[in-house]
Amino acid sequence: MNETKVGAKTEKMEWQYQPTSTHWDEAIRPSGMPRHHWRKLYTSIGRMGFAQLTRRWQTGQHLIQTNGITYNVYGDPQGKERPWSLDPIPLVMDGQEWAKLEQAISQRATLMNHMLGDLYGAQRLIHQRQLPAALLFGNPNFLRTCHGIEPAKGVFLHTYAADLARSPDGKWWVISDRTQAPSGMGYALENRLVSARMLPSAFGQCHVRPLNRFFEQYRESLLNLAPNRDNPRVVLLTPGPNNETYFEQSFLARQWGVPLVEGADLTVRDNRVFLKTLSGLEPVDMVLRRMDDSFCDPLELRGDSLLGIPGLTQAVRSGNVAVSNALGSGLMESPGYMAFLPSLCRQWLGEELKLPSVATWWCGERATRRFVTANLDGLVIKPTFPRLGHHPEFPAYMDSAAKQVLLRRIEADPEQFLAQEQVALSTVPVCTDSGLTPRHVVLRVFAVWDGQSYSVMPGGLTRVSIEANSPVVTMQLGGGSKDTWVLGDDAESSMPSDGGRTRTYAPRGAADLPSRVADNLFWLGRYGERVEAGVRMVRALLPGLSSEEDFGHTATIQSAVQLLTGLNYLPEGLDKTSISQQRWHVGRLLSGMVYDPSRSSSIGWSLKNLRRAAWPVKEWLSQDTWRVLQQLETEFSVTAPVHHELRLVAEMNLLDRVIVTLSAFSGLVMENTVRCNGWHFLDIGRRLERALQTADLLLTSLVQSPFDIEPSMDTLLQIADSSITYRTRYFTEVKVEFILQLLMCDESNPRSVGFQLATLVQHLRSMPANLQQQGSADSQDEEHLPLLLAEKIQIMVQQAVLEDLAARDSDGNLAALEELLRTLKGNLFDLSALLTAHHFSHVPISRFKPSF
Amino acid sequence: MLYQATHLTHYKYEEPVAQCLSETRITPRTFLRQRVLKTTLEVHPEPTVLERRKDYFGNHVATFSVFRTHDHFTASATSIVEVTPRPETILPDISWEEAQLDFAVHLDDISLQAYEFVFDSPFVTSSFELAQYAHPSFPAGRPLAEAVQELSHRINTEFLYKPKSTSIDMPLPEVLQQRRGVCQDFAHIMIGALRSLHLSARYVSGYLRSGADVQGAEASHAWVSVFIPGYGWLDLDPTNDVIPSDGHITLAWGRDYGDVAPVKGISLGGGKQTVEVEVRVTPVQAL
């Protein structure tokens, strides 16, 4: 009610927002009125009211979670992903002002590309003394091995990004250049997707320029720069799932329909780059890298990195593959070059530099050094060549002793330091718990080579500081982000065409599935099944621990001891001890299986491995699947109650919950995964593991138990989740033969070995023919094909004569059954090894020892 | 002097290697005092691709790949090289401080080239400790040529030549502390000490004439070249405390070992590996 009243007096409605007078505010003029280009948004949000905005924001947060938009924080190897932080109020940019920025960014990218061409070629800039040689020779990002390599069409810089800041007089400045592997454009697109949904009417009224054309252009330019072929294959090279912007990398790969690959997925042969897929080696023409160039080739670049692709540099040199940005482009990220841009721009492009860089003084020159030492307090001191772990220093906040130390360091190594003016960053309203407050803003803008010049994304990634008076703006330290609305005219922007939805491209399918991914999916299947088997077993055995007499079909403590001894979980001879002793041992073991992830037999252990297999293939799993996996982990991270009876109840409850979560996992995998080769491998893993688990169970409960199998049979059937089927079919009669029929041979029982084998054979048959014959050249031997082995095992089980197997020999043993089950197990292990050898090439690379 | 130099590098693997890529710098370069008359390079197993080029520093590089399963790998180069003795000119008496300034200003292309070797490189990072180590040899106003000869002499006497006492990955400060190593370490220490004083020094890899009473003839050798304004590059061998003349054959030069490693490579598989190197340099009669 309240809101509608406010809405009625829209024009008078004011934001409860008070920017500081010392900084430029993006939204509000010093008079307190909104800036012209902010009016529509101002009105729209004003009409909505703060309460409604907060609700919208919550929806936005929810969208971020469902889309799985995350950002990894470094120094946290277990992959602490932080949900992406997005503020509901976008940064609005005036269309005319933007047009100027666009030209300026395009000009700067052109200039930087020229500089790269010169420094990796004739080096006239150095010989003619237009650029201090120290800025090249001392730059660790100057990759000498890349000198003389001419990239396709002379484009070193395919993607360029710049961080912009606005000073109190309203002028924009470039505060840093990104030329290595600029990140952020994927987050910008995700921000658009969310913000357009949060504020649909404002978005429509403001005629926000759409982003989709830029992303189309980007994809096209990748194809155009690829050498040689008509239908080039592009891959996106990621450093791996622990990289801070891994989410963005997988998002962009999906957006453009290109495979997301790690270094080990690629190989170089005959100076050509290939993707190792399940169907063999597929040529790659363009590598869009999100890895620093020095890591890209352990042979010619950094020898201590095994992340990259040995031989990549030589392949590039031969002109067989393009890399974006060209190897060596990281050079231009040094702020040391900034001071020289205006004169170079005049000389090369015959025009003035359209957008100034933040004032920069490189200490390698005597005159500027003198200026820096005399004006220390007003400056920020930075390393000339940025590297990880080197942070800007603020002399204004130092005591005189610290300043002296800094000055001495500068004198000792002047080329390594530069000073920059500290821009008083503009502010922008940010939605916080206490209402709208001003935060500092840095805008990252992106440009891509479009064939003739550089096209600039009409938008960008706006980042805001975490606190109102913090001068540092970085996502690493927990800052937030905003969508960037560039106002256009009615013609260009239209709501339905954008909202972050751009055309997506289907990947090439099977041929693009890297073997590494298939391998992880296979193990994901195996560990998922192993977790489930563990849960079922503990759940079937736990009731035997309660001190009351057994009712009906619950397991007795003796059969639990027998089973666990047979599985080697308990030492031999425990069955000779007293019942209470046995109970104590079993209780302790089962508790450990539930709560102690350090035991390799525990559920927690399998769960850890499940996560380890899932993490690198995250983008192949649906968001829901991923969430279920996370829920499993949370469920198991509780500590056990101390009191043993409480613990029993807690364990029972936990396992009941977990079994449901696990079914959700299998259901999602079955229902939500495309039936591609990847899915086949996941299910092959599951089936193989389940066949193994069931074989093991039969072996321990039938073969290794004493004459009377009746007590352990209940346990067996419960673990195998087949009690009801058994009772329906065979009533209460307990016979080894029946059990074997149900759990081993019956191909219609989803829990039987036979069912798993039939499914395995089906999967292997459905693989493309060339896939079945892959493998190392030396072992093209037909006998070594996984399909043939699987068929052999299946026939062995189908042809088993149950009466013979169930017949005891003169010693009262089931020797024939034991032999069959042991052969079965052995064959299944062989099948797993064969699959690995065939489809997943795992050979680690190593470096030659140094020789002298 | 005319020499035949043979350089053989042999890798043996515990497990089969499916493929390998390698980059070698084992063909000597030609320059003012040295002429390569004939050179061959053999690789076993037969490589699929072999390419030759010159690197950034003008050294001869051969890159090749082997794509068949193998358990050993051999690269051997044989060259006939003519080396003329270093002319007996008097070294200029430019002081080390003047030289320092000369690099910093680098008025001509020669000193610009030398300037590149003033900067840190992956294996050689300048440090206060290295500057301090150099200090006794660099009193104010001392001619650079004199100072560097003394530095080379000091390294030769103050460091123990001890094969296998270091690995190439050992950080320079540690080598400085333990005062022992092989020719690569001696060269890196000297280069690091000079760069810590903003002087220009490069790393030279090559061979020694065998037989003589010298260290490092059994494998490839390494020494240092220092740029002396008004003279050019002056080689110094701290391992043997000599100024190389026609007993040293130059293979390649760069900023440090990493730029000129004779054999580098990446193998797929292989497990444990052992490497053997054999260098033989014999004087030959005119062809």
- pLDDT per residue over A379-432, tens digit each? 999 999 987 777 889 998 899 999 999 999 999 889 999 999 988 899 999 988
Interchain contact A849–B (C-beta under 8 A): yes
Higher pLDDT, A58 or A312: A312
Determine the average pLDDT of the residues in A420-446.
Answer: 91
d(CA A687, CA A677): 15
Per-residue confidence band for A768, with pLDDT thresholds at 50, 70 and 90: low
Q: Is the pLDDT of residue A226 over 50?
A: yes
Percent of chain B topping pLDDT 90 = 77
Q: What is the pLDDT of residue A685?
A: 94
Q: Is the pLDDT of residue A551 over 50?
A: no
Of A138, A144, A847, nearest to B266 by CB-CB distance is: A847
* Closest among A386, A710, A712 to A562, alpha carbons compared: A712
C-alpha A288: how far from chain center: 16
Q: Is the pLDDT of residue A136 over 90?
A: yes
Q: What is the pLDDT of residue B69?
A: 86
Look at A270 and B65 and tell me if their CB atoms are within 8 Å.
Answer: yes
Q: What is the pLDDT of residue A727?
A: 85
Q: What is the pLDDT of residue A406?
A: 93
Q: What is the pLDDT of residue A354?
A: 97
Q: Is the pLDDT of residue A249 over 60?
A: yes
Q: Is the pLDDT of residue A8 over 90?
A: no
Look at A271 and B49 and tell me if their CB atoms are within 8 Å.
Answer: yes
Higher pLDDT, B106 or A784: B106
Interchain contact A845–B (C-beta under 8 A): yes
Per-residue confidence band for B18, with pLDDT thresholds at 50, 70 and 90: confident
Determine the average pLDDT of the residues in B2-8.
Answer: 94
**Chain A residue nearest residue B75, CA to CA:** A851
Size of interface A-B (CB pairs under 8 A): 110
Q: What's the whole-number average pLDDT of chain B?
A: 92
Q: Which letter does DSSP use for residue A550 in this model?
A: P
Q: Is the pTM of this model over 0.90?
A: no
Q: Is the pLDDT of residue B7 over 70?
A: yes
* Closest among B281, B124, B148, B158 to B216, alpha carbons compared: B281
Look at A847 and B265 and tell me if their CB atoms are within 8 Å.
Answer: yes
d(CA B50, CA B20): 12
Residue B45: asked if its preceding bond is cis (omega within 30°), the reply is yes
**Structure-block tokens of residue A353:** 């530099």
Q: What is the pLDDT of residue A39?
A: 93
Per-residue confidence band for B106, with pLDDT thresholds at 50, 70 and 90: confident
Query: pLDDT tens-digit profile of A559-577?
Result: 788 888 888 888 888 878 8
Higher pLDDT, A781 or A440: A440
Q: What angle do the packed helices A753-766 and A677-698 form, to 10 degrees?
A: 160
Q: What is the pLDDT of residue A547?
A: 56
Name which of A242-251, A647-656, A763-772 the model is least confident about.
A763-772
Name which of A57-66, B92-101, B175-184 the model is least confident about.
A57-66
Of B55, B63, B258, nearest to A303 by CB-CB distance is: B258
Of A145, A778, A849, nearest to B273 by CB-CB distance is: A849
Name which of A373-377, A506-510, A560-564, A811-815 the model is least confident about.
A506-510
Look at B262 and A851 and tell me if their CB atoms are within 8 Å.
Answer: yes
Are the C-beta atoms of A205 and A38 separated by less than 8 Å? Answer: no
In chain A, residues 527-556 whose CB comes closer than 8 Å to chain B: none
Interchain contact A137–B (C-beta under 8 A): yes
Q: Is the pLDDT of residue B234 over 90?
A: yes
**Chain B residue nearest residue A306, CA to CA:** B266
Q: What is the pLDDT of residue A12?
A: 41
Interchain contact B105–A (C-beta under 8 A): no
Residues in chain B within 8 Å Cβ distance of A145: 55-56
Query: pLDDT tens-digit profile of A702-737?
Result: 877 655 667 677 788 888 888 888 888 888 777 888
Higher pLDDT, B93 or A548: B93
Residues in chain B within 8 Å Cβ distance of A303: 258, 264
Higher pLDDT, A12 or B269: B269
Q: Is the pLDDT of residue B168 over 70?
A: yes
Per-residue confidence band for B255, with pLDDT thresholds at 50, 70 and 90: very high
**Chain A residue nearest residue B63, CA to CA:** A314
Interchain contact B166–A (C-beta under 8 A): no
Look at A314 and B275 and tell me if their CB atoms are within 8 Å.
Answer: no
Of B67, B109, B222, nearest to A127 by CB-CB distance is: B109
In this prediction the ipTM stands at: 0.94
Q: Is the pLDDT of residue A9 over 50?
A: no
**Chain A residue nearest residue B163, CA to CA:** A852
Of A134, A314, A851, nearest to B263 by CB-CB distance is: A851
Residues in chain A within 8 Å Cβ distance of B259: 144
Q: Helices (DSSP H) in A350-396: which residue ranges?
A: 366-374
Q: What is the pLDDT of residue B35?
A: 96
Question: B129 Cβ partners below 8 Å, 6+ apart?
Answer: B173, B176
Q: Is the pLDDT of residue A752 over 90?
A: yes
Q: Which letter does DSSP use for residue B3 in this model?
A: E
* Closest among B51, B21, B12 to B265, alpha carbons compared: B21
CA distance B118 to chain A (A): 9
**Structure-block tokens of residue B121:** 């490189």
Residues in chain A within 8 Å Cβ distance of B26: none
Higher pLDDT, A449 or A610: A449
Q: Is the pLDDT of residue A837 over 90?
A: no
Q: For the stretch A367-387, what's the b/e string if a residue is b when 16 or more beta carbons lie within 10 angstroms of its beta carbon?
A: ebbeebbeebeebbbbbbbbe
Q: What is the pLDDT of residue A4?
A: 40
Q: Is the pLDDT of residue A497 over 50?
A: no
Q: What is the pLDDT of residue A307?
A: 82
* Closest among A162, A167, A144 to A337, alpha carbons compared: A162
Per-residue confidence band for B43, with pLDDT thresholds at 50, 70 and 90: very high
Question: A74 Cβ partners below 8 Å, 6+ apart?
Answer: A244, A476
Higher pLDDT, A637 or A300: A300
Integer angstrom CA distances of residue A334 from A338, A339, A387, B48? 8, 11, 10, 40
Query: pLDDT tens-digit profile of A801-824?
Result: 888 888 888 887 888 899 999 999
Per-residue confidence band for B59, with pLDDT thresholds at 50, 70 and 90: very high
CA distance A825 to chain B (A): 28
Question: B60 Cβ partners below 8 Å, 6+ apart?
Answer: B25, B27, B28, B29, B52, B54, B252
Look at A147 and B56 and tell me if their CB atoms are within 8 Å.
Answer: yes
Q: What is the pLDDT of residue A842?
A: 59
Q: Domains of chain A (ranges plus CATH)?
A: 359-422 (3.30.1490.270), 527-673 (no CATH), 674-852 (no CATH)
Residues in chain A within 8 Å Cβ distance of B48: 269-270
Interchain contact B132–A (C-beta under 8 A): no
* Closest among B147, B157, B171, B170 to B239, alpha carbons compared: B157
Interchain contact A367–B (C-beta under 8 A): no
CA distance B154 to chain A (A): 24
Torsion of Cα atoms, A276 then A279 then A284 then A289, to 10°: -50
Q: What is the pLDDT of residue A510?
A: 54
CA distance B199 to chain A (A): 13
Interchain contact B219–A (C-beta under 8 A): yes
Interchain contact A363–B (C-beta under 8 A): no
Question: What's the farthest any 2 CA atoms get from each other in chain A?
Answer: 103
Determine the average pLDDT of the residues in B215-221.
Answer: 77
Percent of chain A topping pLDDT 70 = 87
d(CA A344, CA A753): 74
Look at A299 and B119 and tell me if their CB atoms are within 8 Å.
Answer: no
User: In a 3-state reduction of DSSP, which class is residue B72?
Assistant: strand
**Chain B residue nearest residue A847, CA to CA:** B266
Q: Is the pLDDT of residue A491 over 80?
A: no
**Structure-block tokens of residue B177:** 């502390």
Higher pLDDT, A68 or A579: A579
In chain B, residues 84-103 whose CB comes closer than 8 Å to chain A: none
Determine the average pLDDT of the residues in A468-481.
Answer: 64
Q: Domains of chain B (ranges plus CATH)?
A: 2-84+261-283 (2.60.40.2250), 96-244 (3.10.620.30)
Q: For the stretch A266-302, what's the b/e string if a residue is b when 16 or more beta carbons lie within 10 angstroms of its beta carbon?
A: bbbbebbbbbbbbbeebebbbbbbbbbbbbbbbbbbb
d(CA A218, CA A199): 27
Residues in chain B within 8 Å Cβ distance of A387: none
CA angle in degrees (0–180, nearest 5) for A406-A407-A412:
100
Q: Is A52 exposed, middle or buried (0-12, 13-18, 19+ CB in 10 A)?
A: middle
Q: Is the pLDDT of residue A348 over 80?
A: yes
Q: What is the pLDDT of residue A815?
A: 87
